[in-house]
Structure formats: structure tokens, C-alpha cells
């Protein structure tokens, strides 16, 4: 019976490895679009991963790697599906990642894109190729295969969208012909929410103190949060800022129960890496912090939670819900 079991096991494994993605009319997830015409303000030439991330609209593109690998196809000349405008490709002179304008030469390549988060949906369009594309959806941690797909033909510049049953964070894109060359003109990738509340605070005299967003974090602009349902007689609050909803660099795994130090029912929900103080007179306040206009901050995760003065427990503090956002343009 052992050989039969092995055959059955191999059959199940093979079926799993060959799971197929499907094409869908549009993405159903929160996403952002990267148009090669937006990169480097539309200028053709050598570009970078950072420039591609920053070209995402309306949110920063959560792409952690964008790798063009030379293949054996002949050098291309971008003269088909040119309505897509500039496309990503390999420079024929420097062999570096570049934006290629129509009526220009480029070197042939295969493309691997890694994301900062797992997803089940993705989309792209190509120029200089009207055939199909072969896609591999993988998990970057061990490069394990999640699903494959051979696309319908790219006879127009329209974007094609894809969906898998299981999550992935890496896509490998190749033409379905070893002699094909192409450029990538448009990309639709998953996005983080600009700022979203999570968890629940602990009750004080006015009920649950609440943290909400007024304006999400964007480069060079005020990042504003609202606080409400604090002590109506006034007091202070401590706004914490961090980068994780999973662990705190000093305190360890999150959430952390504050009952042992005198605040039953209260939890630390996000990492406490920076703290700032504020005051209120009637139970409500607005916290403002200008985000530095520093491109290195693009795509960074920021977490927040507030702790409000309150005499209803021995600690003298109650906690709001928390929030997590992503620094965008």
C-alpha cells in the first residue's frame, strides 16, 4: 500500500503546486497604480525602486523589490501597444532598470516583483507585445509556488487583473514565448490603508475614549488625530507613536495588559517608541504633527495610541483604541 500512498500524495502535491489564478475585471482590494509615465516626472532613463514606489497613486506602491533579469530573447524595439506610454525595461546601453519611451530600443528581460504585504490580487499591462504572459505567484520567504497563470492575449493596452485563492507576495512575469520582448507600462498593486483604527480602549467617566484620524500621514503635511470621550473636566493625554502592532522594542509582544499596574481592562495595542504630551479642557482634543518631507519615510508604517488622565483607576490613566497608517505622498 505504501507505493499507492506515495502516488496519491504526489498527486495531491502536484495539484497544489499547479493551482491556477484567474483573470478578473478589476481589483476588489485597496490598491494603488504605478504608471511608468509618472516615474521621474515622465523623464525616460535610469530609475530606481524608490522612484517606482513614489509613483504610486493614490498611495505609495508597497513594492519591496523590482528585479529585471536578462533573458535570451533578442533586443526589442518599442513600437507596438505604444499607447501605454513609457514602460519599464532594461536599458540597451547600461543594462539598468529604466523607463523606456516608445520608438526606443531595450534589452529583453523577465520580471520579479516583491510586495511589502501579502495579497490575493494584482494587475499589469504591457507594451511591445500582443501575446500572452506566464505568471508565477509565490511567497518570497521560501519562494514557494502559490499559483500559476497563462494570461489572455495583450492585444490592447488594457490592464489585466488577476486573483488567487491563497495569498502571495511575489509575482514572476515572463512572456509565453522565449523569443518575446516587452515592457511593463502599468502596474496595480495592493496598498495599506492611509490610517485605520483597530482595537478598543477602556472605559472612563464619558465611556470609551476614542482615537480617530483627521488627516492621514503624508510627506510634508500635518498628521492629525482626534481624541474624544476623555474626562469632561479636563486633563492631559499621552500620545504614543511607534511602528508595530505586533511587538514593542522594550516591552515585548503586543497587546500588553495594564491590569497588573492598576488599569483593569486597558491594553497597550501598539508599540510605544515616541511619546508626546497634550492637554484638553472638555474631553476632546486634536493632536497635530507635521511629517518631515523626507522621501525615506515613504511607505513607513506608523502606529498610534493615546493614554488619557483619569481618576477612575489606580494607574490614573485609561487607553484609547489604536490606529495604524502608512506615510504617503
Q: CATH number of the domain that 272 lies in? A: 2.60.40.1930
Longest CA–CA separation in the chain, Å: 77
The C-alpha cell at 119 is 495579497
If asked whether residues 185 and 259 sit together in one domain, one would say no
Distance in angstroms (rounded) separating the CA atoms of residues 306 and 283? 13
The C-alpha cell at 137 is 505567484
Q: Of the candidates 159, 190, 221, which is a domain's last residue? A: 190
In a domain, 5, yes or no: no
If asked whether residues 178 and 291 sit together in one domain, one would say no
The predicted pLDDT at position 18 comes to 54
If asked whether residues 147 and 204 sit together in one domain, one would say no
Distance in angstroms (rounded) separating the CA atoms of residues 324 and 197? 7
Listed residue (109, 94, 101, 95) closest to 78, CA to CA: 101
| Residue 243 structural domain | 195-326
If asked whether residues 64 and 181 sit together in one domain, one would say yes
Direct distance between the N- and C-terminal alpha carbons of the chain, in angstroms, rounded to an integer: 61
If asked whether residues 179 and 312 sit together in one domain, one would say no
If asked whether residues 208 and 312 sit together in one domain, one would say yes
Rounded alpha-carbon distances, angstroms, from residue 210 to 193, 216, 230: 19, 16, 8
Q: How many CA atoms lie within 13 A of 244 on its CB side?
A: 13
Q: Of the candidates 190, 219, 242, which is a domain's last residue? A: 190
If asked whether residues 46 and 167 sit together in one domain, one would say yes
Per-residue pLDDT of the chain in tens (329 residues, 90 and over written 9) = 334 334 333 333 333 445 889 999 999 988 999 999 999 989 999 999 999 999 999 888 999 999 999 999 999 999 999 999 999 999 999 999 999 999 999 999 999 999 988 899 999 999 999 999 999 999 999 999 999 999 999 998 899 999 999 999 999 999 999 999 999 999 999 988 889 999 999 987 778 999 999 999 988 999 999 999 999 999 999 999 999 999 999 999 999 999 999 999 999 999 999 999 999 999 999 999 999 998 788 778 899 999 999 988 999 999 999 999 988 86
In a domain, 90, yes or no: yes
If asked whether residues 184 and 221 sit together in one domain, one would say no
The predicted pLDDT at position 192 comes to 83
If asked whether residues 237 and 152 sit together in one domain, one would say no
| Number of domains within the chain | 2
If asked whether residues 201 and 182 sit together in one domain, one would say no
Q: CATH number of the domain that 104 lies in? A: 2.60.120
In a domain, 278, yes or no: yes
If asked whether residues 178 and 278 sit together in one domain, one would say no
In a domain, 181, yes or no: yes
Q: Of the candidates 151, 168, 190, which is a domain's last residue? A: 190
If asked whether residues 76 and 169 sit together in one domain, one would say yes
Amino acid at each position: 500500500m505504501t507505493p499507492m500512498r506515495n502516488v496519491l500524495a504526489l498527486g495531491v502535491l502536484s495539484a497544489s503546486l499547479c493551482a491556477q489564478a484567474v483573470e478578473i475585471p478589476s481589483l476588489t482590494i485597496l490598491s494603488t497604480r504605478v504608471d511608468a509615465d509618472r516615474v521621474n516626472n515622465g523623464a525616460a532613463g535610469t530609475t530606481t525602486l524608490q522612484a517606482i514606489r513614489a509613483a504610486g497613486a493614490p498611495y505609495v506602491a508597497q513594492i519591496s523589490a523590482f528585479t529585471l533579469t536578462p533573458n535570451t530573447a533578442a533586443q526589442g524595439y518599442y513600437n507596438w501597444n505604444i499607447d501605454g506610454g513609457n514602460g519599464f525595461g532594461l536599458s540597451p546601453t547600461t543594462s539598468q532598470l529604466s523607463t523606456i519611451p516608445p520608438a526606443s530600443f531595450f534589452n529583453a528581460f523577465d520580471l520579479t516583483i516583491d510586495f511589502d504585504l501579502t495579497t490575493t490580487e494584482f494587475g499589469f499591462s504591457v507594451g511591445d507585445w500582443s501575446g500572452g504572459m506566464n505568471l508565477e505567484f509565490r511567497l518570497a520567504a521560501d519562494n514557494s509556488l502559490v499559483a500559476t497563470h497563462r494570461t489572455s492575449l495583450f492585444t490592447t493596452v488594457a490592464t489585466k487583473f488577476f486573483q488567487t485563492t491563497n495569498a502571495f507576495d511575489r509575482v514572476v512575469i515572463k512572456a509565453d514565448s522565449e523569443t518575446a520582448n516587452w515592457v511593463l507600462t502599468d502596474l496595480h498593486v495592493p496598498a495599506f490603508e492611509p490610517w485605520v483604527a483597530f482595537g478598543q480602549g477602556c472605559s472612563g467617566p464619558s465611556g470609551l475614549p476614542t482615537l480617530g484620524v483627521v488627516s492621514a500621514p503624508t510627506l510634508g503635511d500635518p498628521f492629525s488625530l482626534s481624541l474624544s470621550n476623555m474626562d469632561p473636566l479636563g486633563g492631559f493625554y499621552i500620545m504614543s507613536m511607534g511602528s508595530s502592532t505586533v511587538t514593542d522594542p522594550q516591552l515585548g509582544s503586543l497587546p500588553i495588559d495594564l491590569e497588573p499596574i492598576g488599569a483593569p481592562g486597558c491594553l497597550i495595542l501598539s508599540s510605544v517608541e515616541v511619546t508626546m504630551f497634550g492637554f484638553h479642557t472638555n474631553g476632546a482634543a486634536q493632536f497635530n504633527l507635521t511629517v518631515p518631507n523626507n522621501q525615506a519615510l515613504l511607505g513607513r508604517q506608523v502606529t498610534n495610541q493615546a493614554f488619557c488622565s483619569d481618576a477612575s483607576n489606580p494607574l490614573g490613566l485609561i487607553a484609547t483604541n489604536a490606529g495604524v497608517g502608512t506615510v504617503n505622498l
